[in-house]
Amino acid sequence: MHALYDLAVGPLAWLAFAIFILGSVYRLMAMRALALKKDAAFVAYISWPHALKSLTHWLTPFGALGWRENPGVTVVTFAFHICLFLAPLFLLGHVVLLDTFFGWSWPTLPETLADALSIVVVLACAYFLWRRLAVPEVRFVTSTQDWVVVSLVGLTFLTGVLAYHGLGDNLFMTTLHILCGEAMLVAIPFTRLSHMLFGFFSRGYIASEFGSVRFAKDW
């Protein structure tokens, strides 16, 4: 188990971050090249002021029609994404790890707060999984990949919470947590999680069409 742990925090961590960062850059650049080559008649209308205005609405809870009409999803989606970034980036354990290896350090959240945020992520994932089963219009369009990616995110945070609370074998749980996290990073550029990379551009593009060509709002 120790050997696996060493592998997970050593070579696998390097590999996961490399694939995540280089993969993301590659995907973005490749998509940009494809857009310029094949979608020139649409790229031509991109207007950053309209894109930013629309993104502001969509990044505000209940700031767009879709959010207002789906209040439950809206609350959970915003809580989920905010916690998803805050908890791992400002977790004492993570920062200490980086400090030990590289000497990088930044302020952290109080441990109980970070713990609460992580639990929110786990609960949000449970809610998303429940929707996939219980809400007919979601179940109708759910495929294997949807179960896998939500579970991957949920497991990463669940094992993190369990390890923090010392539930289960600590080394096993921590190792599992790291492996899940690495799998999640690797998955971002190549699965539906890539909405993290492309979502701003797809929204920004359609906002440009609506704003600069059609003179209508898209939120």
Partner 1 sequence: MSTIADRLIEDEGLRRGVARLTPEKIEKVFKELMAGEGGARLKTYAETCVRCGMCAKACHYYMSHKDPSYTPVAKVSQTMWKLLAAGGRVDPELIYQCAQIAYTECNLCRRCIHYCPLGIDTGYIISVVRRLCHKLGVTPQYIQDTAHSHSATMNQMWVKDDEWPDTLQWQEEEAREEFPGLRIPLDVEGADFMYSVIAPEPKFRTQLIYQAAAIFHAAGLSWTMPSTPGWDNSNMAMFTGDSEIMARVERAHYETAQRLRVKRIVMGECGHAFRAVYDVGNRWLGWKWHPVPVVHSVDFFWELIQQGRIKLTHKYAEPVTIHDPCNIIRGRGLMEKLREVVHFLCDNVVEMYPNREHNYCCCAGGGVINCGPPFKNVRIVGNSIKADQLRATGVHTLIAPCHNCHGGLEDIISKFDLKMHTKFLGDLIYELMEKPEAE
CB 51 within 8 A of CB 208: yes
Burial code (b: 16+ CB inside 10 Å, e: under 16) for 98-131 equals eeeeeeeeeebbeeeebbebbbbbbbbbebbbeb
Strands (E), 38-185: none
* Residue 20 interacting with partner 1 (CB under 8 A): no
* Residue 202 interacting with partner 1 (CB under 8 A): yes
* Residue 24 interacting with partner 1 (CB under 8 A): no
* Residue 216 interacting with partner 1 (CB under 8 A): yes
How does DSSP classify residue 213? I
Residue from 7, 73, 123, 148 binding partner 1 (CB under 8 A): 73
| Interface stretch with partner 1, choices 110-118, 140-148, 157-165, 167-175 (CB under 8 A) | 140-148
Rounded to a whole number of angstroms, the CA Rg of the chain reads 20
C-beta closer to partner 1: residue 103 or 136:
136
- The secondary structure element, H or E, covering residue 129 is helix 111-134
Residues that bind partner 1 (CB under 8 A): 31-32, 34-35, 37-39, 41-42, 44-45, 54, 58, 64-67, 69-70, 73, 77, 131, 135-143, 146, 192, 194-195, 198-199, 201-207, 210, 213-219
